[in-house]
Amino acid sequence: MKIFVTGGAGFIGSNFIRYILENYPEDSVVNFDKLTYAGNLENLQECKDDERYSFIKGDVCDYDAVAGALQGVDAVVHFAAESHVDRSIHSSHEFIQTNVFGTQVVIDAVREQGIPKMILISTDEVYGDVEAPRKSKDRDAFKPSSPYSASKAAAETLAIAAIRTHEAPIIITRCTNNYGPCQFPEKLVPLFITNLIEGKKIPLYDGGTQIRDWLNVADHCSAIDLVLRKGTLGEAYDIAAENEPEVTNREITEMVLERLGQNNEMIEPVSGLRPGHDQRYAVDSSKVRALGWKPSVSLKEGLKQTVKWYQEHENWWKRVKSGEYQKYYQEHYHV
């Protein structure tokens, strides 16, 4: 299978590419990425000499570039997206452009180029706040709370419309909070880990009472792969670790602190809620589990592995935090 991956230089996309190349010797991957601030080709350093891997610098909003790159492709996995909630609150234009318009471009190219299958990677945040003990299900209405989640909900509705109107060969996946290696250090887990390694305090919104589901990126990749190969066209699959018991942001903060030998004195309280801050996310992942998937990495073990990765890859995240990693493109890829 030849798989076309948009946003493959990002956190989840790069982990997915490595997963495919490690597990499927007969498969090949085309990585199509614009290389915005969160795209880092160093995430795929070990793949660059693999003849099954190729990189194309391109923008998902450019139809001709996308369509031209799809030649001979068997499936598209569409990760490319702006994904940071705080950034979307401060400026939403890039989110609408990439997440909405860019998704429509990819859908159009898939249809018109006759690609047999497309996976649209979405988020549990499209459901918005969910009161305990209920869990969102894949047929529930969307109630997005931020420009980011609204843009992902809009992308999904475009996909649903294409499925209904054109019988477009699309499957949607909605994942919960991911963590793991190569995550850009603006998100909670890598930000807290790298700050603590640097001896800096870690910011915690409103006491950290918000509840999130934490999914190891390796488990997410295996779920996407299963949906790609066994999922039903036109369906949506929610992917979650379904942590038991549920975990608050305060609790995961304390888990990171403990793993790094620190205490609560390193927490810097941030007063006042983030605008539109959802209190609880929770989804029912029984549909993807019925395909044969289940998470293999516990939160405790996953955090242990993730902390170790950032400790052993200090040069990577320091270059990311400083912006020096972007020089890598010019030096090695002339892009």
As a whole-number percent, the residues of the chain with pLDDT over 90 amount to 89
46 is annotated as an active-site residue = no
Give tens-digit pLDDT for 202-230: 999 889 999 999 999 999 999 999 999 99
Q: 329 an active-site residue?
A: no
Quick one: which of 189, 216, 183 has its CA closest to 204? 189
Give me the DSSP letters along 139-184: TSPP---SHHHHHHHHHHHHHHHHHHHH---EEEEEE-EEE-TT--
Active site residue: 42, 59, 124, 219, which one? 124
- Asked, as a colleague might, if the bond just before 133 is cis with ω within 30 of 0, I would say yes
Q: Does the active-site annotation cover 156?
A: no
| Mean confidence (pLDDT) of the chain | 95
* CATH code assigned at 275: 3.40.50.720
Percent above pLDDT 70 for the chain:
96
Six-digit token string for 66: 């996308």
Domains held by the chain: number: 1
User: Whole domain around residue 307: which residue ranges?
Assistant: 2-332
Residue 306: the pLDDT is 98
Main-chain phi, psi angles of 198, to 5 degrees: -80, 0
Tokens of 235: 């369906």
Catalytic residue among 19, 53, 127, 148: 148
Q: How confident is the model over 217-274, as pLDDT tens digits?
A: 999 999 999 999 999 999 999 999 999 999 999 999 999 999 999 999 999 998 766 7
- Outline where the chain has alpha helix (H): 11-23, 63-69, 85-90, 93-95, 102-113, 147-166, 188-197, 217-230, 249-259, 286-289, 299-312, 314-322, 327-332
Give me the residue label for tokens 């031209």: 68
Q: Does 79 have pLDDT greater than 80?
A: yes
CA end-to-end span of the chain: 28
- For residue 245, say if its preceding peptide bond is cis, omega within 30 degrees of 0: yes
Assigned token pair, 33: 């990425």
